[in-house]
Structure 1
């Protein structure tokens, strides 16, 4: 008898945009090989750091549309992927200042935004990405998985389906938690962060197998370090044996009543 709730593997490529095209292509090849096809998501940045506007790059728009047509889910991933608050006047909230300094390299864009600004960027990103791919986006995921109070308020108004942070995936319209557990990701900014992420991935391969949903996230910078690529490959291989490569959208599918047959 098949398990009532088969275990899922959710994989994603972050920071997708014209500037990261070559690295994204490399990462997509790795994920496709290990997951048996385009069974992963992409997180699209509309204008990375204000220097690479998706709206002006028709060739990359066509590539995104092609990926989406093949079944890759497309999330809106901020707008600039740059924390203008931290780089400008600074955060007034102590917790936000700590996160901005220690959890991201100036890229927690939605950590310090007020709800009006956050909502405007979310809606503009949603409109752009959905126009490019010709279908509804999979959801919204804040850069560096960091959300301030304003972003959380805005998210409930923006009509996205899904969102996630480091520890969970939730229904963006109802706040219902759909999956729990730490996301497995890697860091390439420094030797110390790389070593730490390699260590965590090793622990995760041994310890997270019992989770119903395992999440793996890769970034363009990962391709710059062979040790990270080897760890990513090992982690994908390990969980693909016990968890079915799946779509984020499946988490919102209504549960089938016990005893129901098709």
Structure 2
């Protein structure tokens, strides 16, 4: 079909870091098999929960470079991923109900958000030897400070749960909800499986469909089966694309 009419599938592995290397390996294998190649993105956390720092020259840093060299796109995904801010009002509700203390950039000031973004960008780019694809806040949650910092950043792309956009201009490049799964409880898992099944029927009209997986997904066979089915369902009908292709 003409490029202007092409429909794409964008897939990503979140929370990539040395503390989840085994889980990321398993997910990378699943995505590679389902998508017939390493055509997906990884969201890299420089120091997950201040306990798993990524350092240049380490074995894990070398793995990141190898993954990037294979064509996997690398996003900066916060710095700690953990939310350590005090929230009020709507932000407090988001922090409590939308994520388990994972929305690191929801309550940061502009200056602090900018510092963590820039430090993350510098670290990831030094390791992979090329420009990072963009920035995606942990749990897809951005406060006003983070949004202001993004507008002044050098990142080409940003993403939240409902869209992908160019930070400097606000131009939206893809719309529609990310298909993702929850493993924290039986009820959340059941709900995410039902939503994924519905998405496999309802989201075909979207120009771009996004699928995101997390290290915790490997703990439940039902989630892994749903991920595989979902990826294959959309890959049969559309091109497996890259985030950077949205800029074209």
Contact map agreement 1:49 1:80 (CA 8 A) in 2: yes
> How many aligned residue pairs are there?
248
Is the partner of 1:4 in helix, strand or coil? helix
**Matching of residue 192 in structure 1 with residue 187 in structure 2:** yes
Alignment of 1:243-258 (within 5 A): 243-253=238-248
The Cα RMSD (Å) is: 1.0
SS in 1 for 2:178: coil
- Aligned to 1:195, what secondary structure does the other structure show? helix
In the other structure, the counterpart of 1:131 is: 126
| Counterpart-to-counterpart distance in 2, 1:57 and 1:43 | 19
2:54 equivalent to 1:48: no
TM-score (norm 2): 0.98
Match of 1:142 in 2: 137
Q: Note if contact 1:18-1:57 (Cα within 8 Å) is conserved in structure 2.
A: no
State the SS of the aligned residue for 1:55.
coil
Structure ID, larger Rg: 1
Between the aligned partners of 2:203 and 2:125, the Cα distance in structure 1 is 34
1:81-92 to 2 correspondences below 5 Å? 81-85=81-85, 90-92=86-88
Tell me which residue corresponds to 2:90. 95
The residue that corresponds to 2:19 in the other structure is 19
- 1:101-250 equivalences under 5 Å are 101-250=96-245
Which residue matches 1:37?
A: 37
CA contact (8 A) 1:46 1:78 kept: yes
Q: How many Å separate the matches in 2 of 1:137 and 1:230?
A: 30
How far apart in 2 are the matches of 1:217 and 1:4? 24
Which blocks of at least 5 consecutive residues in structure 2 are unaligned?
Answer: none
- Displacement of 1:57 in angstroms is 6.6
Structure 1 outlier segments of 4+, above 6 Å: none
Shift of 1:5: 2.2
Query: Could you tell me how far 1:4 is from its partner in structure 2?
Result: 3.4
Q: Residue deviations 1:47-89, cap 9 Å, x none?
A: 000000002671000000000001000000000000010xxxx
Q: Give the TM-score taking structure 1 as reference length.
A: 0.93
Residue 36 of structure 1 deviates from its aligned partner by: 1.1
